[in-house]
Each structure stands twice: as C-alpha cells, then as structure tokens.
Structure 1
Amino acid sequence: MKKKILLTTATVVILLAAVLTAGSFYLVNFALVDANRHRDSNFNRAMTNYPELRPWIDSLKAEGALSDTFVVMPTGERAHALYARSTKAHGATAVLVHGYTDNATSMLMIARIYNRYMNYNILLPDLHGHGQSYGKDIQMGWKDRLDVMHWIDIAPGIFRTPADSMRLVVHGISMGAATTMCVSGEQTPKYVKCFVEDCGYTSVWDEFAHELKGRFSLPEFPLLYTASWVVQMKYGWSFSEASPLKQVAKCNKPMLFIHGDNDTYVPTTMVYPLYEAKSQPKQLWIAPGSKHALSYRDHKSEYIRKVTEFVSKWNGAENWKLRGES
C-alpha cells in the first residue's frame, strides 16, 4: 500500500513538474521569442500614425541627412541604427530607444522633437532582436542597456564630434524607457547629461506578473519563478535582476519621468516608486487620460514643451523654440 502511495505521489509530482516546465518554456517563448516584431525600417507606419512627420522626413531625405549604420557590438552581434546629423547641433545629440516589438522608426515622432525643434543630432538604434539588429530573443531592456551604452560610446564618432564637445540625452518609451533607466544606473560618459523615460516599468518581474494575472489569470508563483530560471539558463539574465527601479536609484543625473494616467499595460502606479527612488534632479509629468505610450499622441504641444524645457535646462541646449505646431 505504501509503495502504491509513493508511486502515485511520484507520478503526480513528475506530471506537475512536466506541466510547469512546459508552461515555463511556453511563457518564455510567448514573451521573448515568438512575439511578432516590426522588422523593417519602412517609415510609412510612422507617418500614417503621425502625419506631421512626412515633411520633416522628406526634408531630411532631400538633404541626405538621414542614414543607416550597422555596427558590431562587443558581443560580436550585428546591430542597426538610423541617424541624422544636424549642422546646428554643436554636439547636442539624442539617443532614442524604442519599445517592445517595435523598431527605430517607432521613435521618429520623438526624433522630430529633438532634430526639428532643438537642432539635435539623432540616433535611433534597433535593440537586439528588433528591426534590422541581430537576435531572436527580446532582452526587456536589461542586456539592452549594454548595447545602448555602446551606441553612446561610439556616438562621437558617428557624428564626428569630439567627446568633450558632445552633450547627450537618452530618451526611451515603454521597454525603451526601461532600457533608459537601466542605462542610467551604470557609469556613463561625462557627456551624457540627462534622461527621459516615458512609461517604463519598475522591473521585468513586476511587468510579467502584471501580464500573467491580466492575460492568463495566473499568480506569479510558481510559473514566474520557473520561467525566470529558464531565461537565466538560456539567456544569462533573470526577471528579478532586470530592475529599472534598482538602476534608477543609482542614477545621479537628471531624469524626466512621463506616464499616462490611463495606462493599464504598464500601470501608472509603477511610475511613483520609480520617481521616489530617483534622487534629485528629477521631474514627473502625468499625462491626463493617456493610455500606454500615447502621451505624445494625446498631448503633442505639452509633450514637446515638457521635453524641450527639461532637456534644455540640463543639456545646455540653446536656440530651440516651439513653432506653434501640434
């Protein structure tokens, strides 16, 4: 009888372990491998969503100012970025980081703020596994921070500007905002002057726990624990270590926090502990009524004003002005 009970118990445990393992691999593949991504650098999607981009992009193309570049990362992987030089930049440069499953072109509306209104050079990388950059897995901003730091390091060469003349801001949206905050906690060059994060999450663990509950009505235990272990084994990082909250607490450079007050994808509540963790200087803007990553779309003039005023204060930018456009 005892042998039968032990056998039954062992069978149940093995079945549960198999189900949990299968569920963990499914979750990892669903979120980090199989997620549909916009791989091309076609500008049409961006211009359809934001028609004001067309004349600006056409003028950049006419001037031959908008270019592509491919570089080899320290990991040996090939990475892609869009960039445009401004003859009036005098070293002022914006590195603009896109969100989950997007690519560089999804940041063109933000690039327009810096290039058209503030006369900045702009650099828009495709993160690992996105756009034309190498990779199949999404790194959720954690290992991406190392790639963005490499783009920051080579920016003086791309824009033919001595490092001691460069003044650089990093601005990200959604996963790009998480990446930006993860970068902010590292040792960055002196020419990195400030950061702008728009609707980033506190940690990958928190975001996945939120999605697990919302999409699948499942608690974080045990699946999130085992899925994080799978990611550690396959990709060398874990959900818990990928923490913009911990990183931003180490940042001593200025940061502007932006979040829509109707964001349910990365809940608005996440911005408050992030803001509290960050030491001064800092600024917070909650965009009224905006859902996830739509603060610019809903409040164009105010978004432009908030960004230009903040960045100009801390990045030493000059000669920018709003032109009365939405």
Structure 2
Amino acid sequence: MKNLLSKILIFIVGILIGSIITFNTLGLILGNILYQELSDPKLNINLTGIINHSQDLTNINTLEQTLPNAQKIVLPTTYNDKQNLTGTFINNNSTKTVILIHGLYQNRSMSINYIDTYARLGFNVLLIDLRGHGESGGTITWGQTEIKDIDTWCNYLRSTMHQNTIGIHGVSLGGAFALLHSGLSTQSADFYVEDSSYSDLKSLYYSHLHNMIQLPTNSKILDILWMYSQVCMYWHTGATLDMLSPRMAVQKATVPILFLHGDADTLIPPATLSDLYNNCNSPKEIHMFKNSIHAQGITDYPEEYNQVIHDFLLKNNLLQ
C-alpha cells in the first residue's frame, strides 16, 4: 500500500512538472513569435494599421540624385553586431546639424518634409534609416540598440563632420527613440524635438492587440502572452519595454525638449502629449496642432510648425 501511494505521488508530481514545462515552453514559443513579429518590419504583423513603406526608397533615391548637396552615408555600427546604418546628409555649410528620425515601417524618405524646416534656420540635416528599416541592417529593438545607433551618428557628426551643435527631431517611433536618447544616452544631443511619440509602448500595444485578437477586456491571455514576449525580448536585447519607456526617460533629460502632437490623433492618444511633458524635468515647450491626425502637423500646418520650432530654438539660444 505504501509503495502504491508513493508511485501515485510520483506520478502526480511528474504530471505537474510536465504540465509546467509544457506550459512554459508553449508560452516562450508564442512569446518569441510575438516579439519577432513586433520587431521585424518585413513581417508586417500590422498591429497599428500602419502600411509598411520601410523598403520604398524611391523618394530618397530621387533626392540624392537631384540635390547637389545631398550625400548618402553608410556607417558600421560601433558595437559587435556587424550591421550597417544608412543616412543622407544635406550639407548647408553649417556647424549645426539636426538628425531626422522617421516612424515605424517607414524609412528616411519620410523625413524629407522636414528638411526645409531646419535648412532655413541654418542647419545641416541628416536623415537616417532606423535599424530594420530602409537600407539599415538589423531588426527593431524598441530603443535598446537604437540609442547606440543614434550615438554612432552623433559621434560621426562631431568627429568627422566637425559639428558643434546637434539636435534630434523624431516623428512617431522616431520621436520615442529621440526621447529615450535624451534620458538614457550618456552622449546627449543639444536639443530634441519629438512629434507624436508614445509615452508607454506597452499600453499602446495592449490596446491594439486587444482589438486585433478580439479578447475580452478582462482576459488574462494577453497578459500572459505579453509576459512571455518580454522574457524573449530580454533574451534577445537585454531589455524589456518597461525599461524603454519615453515617459521614464524624459525624467532624466537635461537639455531642451519640444513636445508636439495632433489633437485628432487616433493612433497615439493626444493625452500622451501631457503625460510626456509633465514627466520631463528639463527645459521644455509644448504645442498641440488642432484637428491634426497622427504625425501630420507639418502637412496640415506647415507655417505654424516651422514657427513653433523657430521660437523653441530661439528661446533656447540655439539659433546663434
């Protein structure tokens, strides 16, 4: 009888251990699939509804061929992942440069509309492809590696192009990476402009994943799936999205930041603007574009957009 009970107990423990191993294995497999799909534009899971233009280089190729002062630049990453970063430098014979960073599933072509904004203020302009987009290698790491990529560009501008002032202007995902750089990099730029950034990617993707998977609002499935995806993200990058929050990063910023958003943005709620602004402890300005949807401020109100940036730079003694 005693031996039978021991066998039954061993059997039950074995079942429990096997179930735990199976559950975790399945969770890690699904979590890794989610992480990979979120991090590779070529897979185009399209959680946000954004059309994938990351490989459409038509406009930037045309610009480089027709604009005499445009130069394509390819830099190797300065750490051991053996990727190349690609950008286009617009030389306006200045010692000041603004780095323009595009949004998710785009490439440096998206930044063309912002060239004149800074050229008229006497800045050179550097349009870059984020890793995993356009002609840059690698995959998205939601800021963990992109911060180092931005450092690589800043070092290039200072050491090779002999630039004295460097600003960073990012739109949507590019705006989020600009804010992450402002607080998490040891090589801060001289100023930042963010347009339509999220404050916390976790809450944003929760909303879009709920809509995509059609789960009840009180479902715990997404919580479990997200937990495993973040375990996989940490395995791949050494960070989780909780560690890569623009809201948290701006608390550590020390240089001027301009926060921009459209009040009709349905992709990233307009309330995000106040959330970011209120958490920022450095010199800051804020502006909302009326009836403007996601990342369309410069298209809807070009003169107002340019004036807001001019006033921000002037106020912070960055136009001298």
After TM superposition, the score normalised by the length of structure 1 is 0.81
Counterpart check, 1:100 vs 2:104: yes
> How do 1:102-251 and structure 2 match up within 5 A?
102-115=106-119, 117-135=120-138, 137-159=139-161, 161=162, 163=163, 166-185=164-183, 186-188=185-187, 192-218=189-215, 220-251=222-253
Partner SS state of residue 99, structure 1: coil
Residue aligning to 1:48: none
How much does 1:16 deviate?
4.3
Q: For residue 113 of structure 1, what is the amino acid of its counterpart?
A: T
Match status 1:38 vs 2:41: no
**d(CA) in 1 for partners of 2:67, 2:21:** 65
Give the structure with higher Rg (CA): 2
Deviates more, 1:205-214 or 1:300-309: 205-214
Hey, what's the Cα distance between the residues in 1 that align with 2:143 and 2:306?
A: 25
Per-residue CA deviations over 1:168-198 (Å, capped at 9, x if unaligned) read 2110001100110011113335xx3211001
What is the aligned length?
296
- Corresponding position of 1:64: 68
Where 1:109 maps in the other structure, the secondary structure is helix
Kept after mapping to 1: 8 A contact 2:85/2:136: yes
Aligned to 1:277: 279
Match runs of 1:1-80 below 5 Å: 16-33=23-40, 34-35=43-44, 36=52, 38-43=54-59, 57=63, 64-75=68-79, 76-80=82-86
Residue 269 (structure 2) aligns with: 267
Letter aligned with residue 26 of structure 1: I
CA deviation digits over 1:252-298, x for unaligned, max 9?
11111011112222222222221111124111111112222122222
Report the residue type matching 2:187 in the other structure. T
CA distance in structure 1 between the aligned counterparts of 2:132 and 2:60, rounded to whole angstroms: 21
Q: Structure 2 length as normaliser, TM-score?
A: 0.83
SS at structure 2 position matched to 1:96? strand
Give RMSD over aligned pairs. Answer: 2.6
Q: Which runs of 5+ in 2 are unaligned?
A: 45-51
C-alpha contact (below 8 Å) 1:141/1:175 kept by paired residues: no
Q: Which moved more, 1:219-228 or 1:171-180?
A: 219-228
Deviation at 1:43, TM superposition (A): 0.6
Structure 2 CA distance for aligned equivalents of residues 123 and 315 of structure 1: 21
**Aligned residue in 1 for 2:48:** none
2-side partners of 1:63 and 1:138: how far apart?
Answer: 30
Quickly say closer, same or farther: Cα 1:272–1:217, change in 2 above 3 A.
farther
Match of 1:323 in 2: none
* Rounded Cα–Cα distance in structure 2 between residues aligned with 1:315 and 1:168: 13
1:43 aligned counterpart, secondary structure: helix
Residue pair 2:142, 2:241 contacting (<8 A) in 1 also: no
Identity among equivalent pairs (%): 22
- The structural deviation recorded for 1:101 is 1.5
1:288: which partner in 2?
Answer: 290
Cross-structure match for 1:83: 89
Bigger drift between 227-236 and 32-41 goes to 32-41
